[in-house]
């Protein structure tokens, strides 16, 4: 089995831990089973978002080029590109550095841009644009879904209390 899938899961777990653990720290009555469930669900979702980043980027690059490549383009995650994403938990904690978290994703995006430029023949700045648009689009979509789920779960609890 390729080491990429476990690394994507660990990167997703890292990102989920950075988002879930600060929330859990403010709610001491939350059960461990619930926290572990949140972490695992978050790891799967964040890992899926990370896995979609190169695919979305390649799709945008093909749109920019005007036509799909004649031969299938090999543009996928490699362990070297994924490894920095596992730092996300430390950097995602709100008080430890949203700026550092952003810089981490810029670094990973630069690595993806290099890979995209060599795989598709696009210029480096065009590749950076494709990686940026795909990353921001996936991030905004992920954040929107996260907020929607939080709103729905909060509404359900309020109705149950009433």
User: What is 40-83 written as a DSSP string?
Assistant: HHHHHHHHHHHHHHHHHHHHHHHHHHSS--SSPP-----HHHHG
Euclidean distance between CA atoms 70 and 120, whole angstroms:
11
Q: What is the pLDDT of residues 83-125, one digit of tens each?
A: 776 665 555 555 555 677 777 788 888 888 888 888 888 888 9
Domain that holds residue 91: 4-161
Q: How confident is the model at residue 58 (pLDDT cuts 50, 70, 90)?
A: confident
**Predicted TM-score (pTM) of this structure:** 0.76
Residues 6+ positions from 86 with CB-CB distance below 8 Å:
7, 10, 11, 14
The pLDDT assigned to 9 comes to 84
The pLDDT assigned to 57 comes to 87
The tally of domains found in the chain comes to 1
On the CB side of 33, how many CA atoms lie within 13 Å of its CA?
0
Residue 135's alpha-carbon distances to 8, 46, 108, 138, in angstroms, are: 15, 12, 10, 5
Euclidean distance between CA atoms 43 and 9, whole angstroms:
6
What share of the chain has pLDDT > 90, as a percent? 6
């Amino acid at each position: 089995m390729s080491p990429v899938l476990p690394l994507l899961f660990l990167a997703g777990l890292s990102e989920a831990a950075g988002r879930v653990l600060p929330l859990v720290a403010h709610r001491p009555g939350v059960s461990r089973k619930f926290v572990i469930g949140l972490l695992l669900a978050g790891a799967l979702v964040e890992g899926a978002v990370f896995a979609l980043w190169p695919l979305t980027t390649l799709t945008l690059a093909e749109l920019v080029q005007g036509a799909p490549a004649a031969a299938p383009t090999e543009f996928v995650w490699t362990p070297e590109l994924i490894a920095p994403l596992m730092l996300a938990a430390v950097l995602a904690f709100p008080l430890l550095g949203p700026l550092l978290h952003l810089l981490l994703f810029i670094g990973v995006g630069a690595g993806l841009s290099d890979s995209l430029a060599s795989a598709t023949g696009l210029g480096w700045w065009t590749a950076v644009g494709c990686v940026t648009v795909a990353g921001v689009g996936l991030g905004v979509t992920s954040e929107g879904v996260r907020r929607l789920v939080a709103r729905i779960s909060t509404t359900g609890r309020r109705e149950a209390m009433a």
